Every structure is written in structure tokens, then in C-alpha cells.
Amino acid sequence: MPASPLTLLGIESSCDDTAAAVVRVGPQGAEILSSVVEGQMDLHRDFGGVVPEIAARAHAEKLDICVRAALDQAALGLGNLDAVAVTAGPGLIGGVLSGVMCAKGIAAGASLPLIGVNHLAGHALTPRLTDDVAFPYLMLLVSGGHCQFLLVRGAQDFTRLGGTIDDAPGEAFDKTARLLGLPQPGGPSVEAAAKSGNPKAHRFPRPLLDRDGCDMSFSGLKTAILRARDARVADAGGLTVQDQADFAASFQAAITDVLTEKTRRALTLYLQEAPAAPLLAVAGGVAANGAIRTGLELLCAHMGVAFSAPPLRLCTDNAAMIAYAGAALMADGVRHDMTLAARPRWPLDQNRPAMLGSGKKGAKA
């Protein structure tokens, strides 16, 4: 952490939330002075998922408004800031580009340093923003676009222990909701339906559970639900509300089993490091699911590992985490220039040391 306080503007636009925040980070810890998140759920609802071009169009016309609101709520002007931090990837490239260009305009016009932040690093460092958690900790990032285990040893030191080899669980929740005729977004609606369902009504696959390691797969689960639903619709001419609940509960049980078992394996690897205060942190919208969270909490209790989940508004996409991660990078001496590139793909792993801007020229550093 910086020796003297740093105040950063953070900007995030990598998926379907336009966000801006002001965060102050000092020796005593971090303080979120403002955090504005403008969702786009209504724009995408009819299409059963986030449409990249629609998202990009919304970001381009909302970003500066969100920044203005974040500054106003923090009662600060750009002159009070030390830097502008922006998500430079990974994500939907149209939105990331708009965020990066808006940040460049602000940084140039206000003569502020510019810092490009990896969106995944923002999530992975959130336990330090909220609870000042000590390194090393294990992070399970599980959202609509991502699913991976990260061993976090430092603000620029991440080891990916495993992750999804195809879809993210959040996508699977959305797809399942569509197949069952439940509303979008699928996370909350599938969870609500599952409450009155029988999780053993259908036996859906637990992909890759028979394989070693921490990698996961969720696309086959979606196909299995599609087939089972089609069979039920062919039999009965449709789904009853109880059918919806049983499918939802059985799907949720399969996802919970996979995440819990793979987390157990990731924790085993993590505990080999003999951390002084072992801790599993979760982030991402899927981490808000009650059944999944309960499964993880029981697992952690069983393994003697503390469990940390940030409040939902900091679990899902936000710009406070980007400002915080930017401050951590700034304290490490990282700066970017006006050639900062937006990157649709940007894996976060220590084995590729050039990834978080330590020395290589410009954006791809």
C-alpha cells in the first residue's frame, strides 16, 4: 500500500455495467468515496444475453455521465485526484475501448497519470479493498463471463490454478432460465425457482469431476438441460411450475457440486503454501447464489479456511475495485501512456510476467 494516500478515479465498462468510482487508498486502508454503477439489463432483456454492440453503444454515451456523478458524490474535482485507472481488458472490446478512450481524454485534459487495470485483478484484489485480507489467499471468481481459481500472492502476483474451459456458470444460469421460461437475468430467477424444487429430480452431469485438477466445463450441462427439457415438453406439451422448479433445483445442485469439489481441490493446492491465515474469497455475481455460497462455506469450515465474500455491490462489476487495483499498481510504480490498448483477452497469471505493465512499452505490457 502507498506510504501517502492516493485518490483515484476508476472506470469500468467491460461487460454490461457502466461504472465509475473514486477510491482513496492510504497506509490506514482504503475508503470508497463514491461508486456509481449504471446497468443495462433492460437493453439486453429481449435478446436473452448481453449483445456486444448494444452494450458498446450504451457505454459510449454513459461513461462520462457516470464519471461526473462519481466525482460529484465524492465532492471532488479532477484536480483532487492522483490518477485515472481504467479497465483495459479482458471483456467485450467495444465497451472496454470506450472506457479506455474516455479515461485517456480525462487523463490528458486533466494532466493525470493513466493506469490500465486488468478487470480480473480488480475482482481478485477486492478482498483487500473490503477487508484488508493478507496475501496469499485463494480467489474463486465466478460470474457471467468468468470462472477461475486464482492464488493471489501480491497485487501483481496471480497464479491461475484452474478455470472453465468453455462457458462461465453465469451464462449457464442465463441459458437455463431461457430454457425454462424464467426471466433474465437467470441467476436470481433460477435460484428463486429452485427453492421449491427437488434437486434430485433430474441427474445432470457434473462435467470434469472425474478428472484431476481444477478445470471446469459447463457447456455440456446446458445441453443436458436442453435435452431433458425437450423430452419433458414432448411428453407433456409444456412445463409445469413444478417442472421449472425441479429443473432449476437439479441444475443448481450440479453447478454447486462442481464448484464445491473443484474448490476443495484448489484449496488443497493453496494450503500446500502453508498460509498463516488461510482464506477463500469469492467474487462475481454467481457468488451471490445462496446454495453455492452455502456449499463453499461448509467446505471452508470443514477445511479450516476462513471464507470471505464482499458485499454484492462489490462482488459484481464495479469501478471501485478498478480504482483500488489501480492504486496498488501505482504504488508499485506502474504507469501507462496514451498508447494504452484495450484488450479483449488478457489472462491474469504470474507465469506471463509482462502482463501487468512492468516495463514493457505501452499497452501490451
Partner 1 sequence: MTLILGFDTSAAHCAAALLDGDTLLESCAEEMSRGQAERLMGLLEELLARHAKTWADLDAIGVGIGPGNFTGIRISVSAARGLALALPHAPAIGISTFEAIAVDTNPSDTSGKIPAVPAPRDQLYVAQSGRTPVLLPRSEAEGLGPLALPAVAAQLAENIARAAAVKHATGGAWPAPAPLYIRAADAAPPRDPAPHILP
- DSSP type of residue 224: H
Minimum CB separation from partner 1 for residue 346, in Å?
Answer: 15
Span near partner 1 by CB under 8 A; candidates 126-134, 178-186, 285-293, 345-353:
178-186
Using a 10 angstrom Cβ sphere, with 0-12 exposed, 13-18 middle and 19 or more buried, the burial of residue 245 is buried
Is 321 a residue that touches partner 1 (CB under 8 A)?
no
User: What is the rounded distance in angstroms from the CA atom of residue 87 to the CA atom of residue 342?
Assistant: 8
Q: Is the peptide bond before 90 cis (omega within 30 degrees of 0)?
A: yes
Residue with smaller CB distance to partner 1, 48 or 290: 48
Nearer Cβ to partner 1, position 1 or 51?
A: 51
335 forms part of the interface with partner 1 (CB under 8 A): no
Q: Cβ distance 257 to 204 under 8 Å?
A: no
- Comparison of 98 and 316: residue with beta carbon closer to partner 1: 98
Q: Which of 348, 354, 342, 352 is nearest to 116 (CA)?
A: 342
The packing angle between helices 119-131 and 320-331, to 10°, is 90
State the binding string over 181-210 for partner 1 (x if CB under 8 A, else -).
x-----------------------------
Report the alpha-carbon distance of residue 362 to residue 365 in Å, rounded: 6
Give the binding-site size for partner 1 (rule: CB under 8 A): 54
C-alpha grid cell, residue 209? 469431476
Question: What minimum distance in Å lies between the beta carbon of 151 and partner 1?
Answer: 32
Which position among 129, 179, 315, 323 is part of the footprint of partner 1 (CB under 8 A)?
Answer: 179
Are 323 and 23 contacting, i.e. CB atoms less than 8 angstroms apart?
yes
89-126: burial string, b at 16+ Cβ within 10 Å, e else: bbbbbbbbbbbbebbbebbeeeebbbbbbbbbbbbbbb
What is the distance between the alpha carbons of residues 150 and 214, in angstroms, rounded to a whole number?
A: 11
> Binding-site residues for substrate, please?
141-145, 174, 187, 191, 289
Question: Which of 75, 110, 134, 192 touches partner 1 by CB under 8 A?
Answer: 110
Residue selected from 26, 39, 57, 205 as contacting partner 1 according to rule CB under 8 A: 57
Instruction: Identify which of residues 165 and 354 has a Cβ nearer to partner 1 in the complex.
Output: 354
The sign of the dihedral angle between the CA atoms of 156, 162, 167, 168 is: negative
Q: Which of 24, 104, 146, 202 binds partner 1 (CB under 8 A)?
A: 104
Residues within window 220-259 making contact with partner 1, judged by CB under 8 A: 229, 233, 236-241, 243-244
Which of 15, 37, 70, 97 forms a contact with partner 1 (CB under 8 A)? 97
Interacting residues with partner 1 (CB under 8 A): 46-49, 51, 53-54, 56-57, 60-61, 63-64, 67-68, 78, 93-94, 97-111, 178-181, 229, 233, 236-241, 243-244, 338-342, 362-363
